[in-house]
Amino acid sequence: MKSTTSIIALVAALAVTSGGLGLSLTGVFNDNSVTATSNTANGLMMGHLVVEAHNEAGELVAYRQSDNEVVDDGEQCILRLLFQEDGANGQGSAAGTSSCTGAMNGAWDTIAIGTDTTAAADTQVVLGNETSSSNGLQRADATTKTWTNGTGSTTTKIVLSKTFTNDSPRAHTIAESGLFNSTTNDANGMLARQTFTGVALSNGDSITITWTFTVGN
């Protein structure tokens, strides 16, 4: 996890750029469970990932929720967007700024899913095994983007959501999701990634991924 200094720096950057991106939160739901394992953390930055799977008949068959991991690459790109002057779209060659990857001229509003179970880590820039060539499961822009502009006690946040439907004749077990600033499959430029207990999708099943980013209390 990040040091206090880096978290505070990222909070400031995110608050300026978007008014509501961030990280960190609670527990996990198992399939069809009604009781969460709560592990709530309070702070300036909070983030939440919710995964809902439905079968072809529209019945809820799996539900997950977890914190998210804002990776180093995402943090570095955000700061470069704010402060870098010697490169197109915030990218340059100055010493100490070469880690930021991916296109810098788009929002981090593209959601990708994959099947890799390797735990999220700060150094990652792509998913472990993105479903980039599977019908209906390719990364795509969020279909719903809901902003809440904080005033007083109201929390500033953005909610990004996308539903994927498996049109492939074979099943896929989805166990990871990432938020990117490019719709190119398997491209880097990742802001955040998280894994969760695998959700098996047969043909016709769907999975809805919802990322929430919050700044403030």
Averaged pLDDT for residues 175-196: 89
Pairing of strands 110-114, 140-141: antiparallel
Place of tokens 């700044």: 215
Kindly tell me if the per-residue pLDDT of 188 is higher than 90. no
**Cα Rg, the chain, nearest whole Å:** 17
> Looking at per-residue confidence, does 36 or 62 come out higher?
62
pLDDT at res. 111 = 96
**pLDDT of 106 over the 80 cut:** no
> What pLDDT sits at residue 98?
54
- 116-145: average pLDDT: 92
As a whole-number percent, the residues of the chain with pLDDT over 90 amount to: 41
Half-sphere exposure of 118 (CA within 13 A, CB side): 12
**Closest-CA residue to 197 (of 12, 66, 17, 26):** 66
The pLDDT score that the predictor gives to residue 162 is 98
Contacts of 88 (CB under 8 A, 6+ apart): 104
pLDDT for position 45: 52
Task: Tell me, rounded to whole angstroms, the distance of Cα 28 from its chain centroid.
Answer: 16
CA end-to-end span of the chain: 20
The answer to whether residue 41 scores a pLDDT higher than 90 is: no
pTM of the model: 0.75
